[in-house]
Homo-oligomer: A and B are copies of this chain.
Amino acid sequence: MNNTMDTIFAVSLLNGRYADCIDGDELEAWPGFFTEDARYVVTSYENHAAGSEMGVIYCDSKGMLQDRVLGLREANVYERQRYRHIMSMPSRAMEDEHGNVRATTSFAVYRIMRDGRTSLFVTGCYLDTLRPDAGGELKIASRIVVCDSSVFDTLLAIPL
């Protein structure tokens, strides 16, 4: 297991496409970044540090992510705001002997309101387990989104 350049690079590319998907309001494509049995958790730094698996959001299948997108569309959340992810390079991307990758990446997400006002929404990091699919492409088997703040508006919980 090692932070090879190839692995860091592959995770960086995955993160970039993931961000473009959300920031470009192509939400229907978002579940496609995950495995069928994926776990997607949004939690706070404090909860995570305390060892809790609980989160503001807890999904444990791609189907739940698809339902989430439908809910966001019904609520017309993207009519009112957009997002912009800025990410550091992964600080860690370790591949094990089965090709699974464990990675960590810091992010800042900005929120852009309809009238153009832009502000910092939340900072945090992704703690990921990634798995290659049949075609060799990395998919997210588990993404724990550890948010530095726990006070952002959960009703508008866009995918992070």
Q: Which of chain B's residues have a CB closer than 8 A to the CB of A20?
A: 91-92, 104, 106
B112 touches A84 (CB 8 A): no
Quick one: which of A86-126 are within 8 Å of B by CB? 86-92, 104, 106-108, 110, 112, 115-120, 122-125
How many protomers of this protein does the assembly include?
3
Query: Which applies to chain A's interface (DSSP): helix, strand, loop or mixed?
Result: mixed
Known: A84-B124, A85-B88. A118 touches B5 (CB 8 A): no
Q: Does A149 contact B (CB under 8 A)?
A: yes
Known: A117-B151, A120-B119. A108 touches B91 (CB 8 A): no
- Other than A15-B89, A23-B106, give 10 A-B pairs with Cβ distance below 8 A: A8-B12, A16-B91, A16-B104, A17-B91, A20-B91, A23-B125, A84-B106, A112-B123, A112-B149, A118-B120
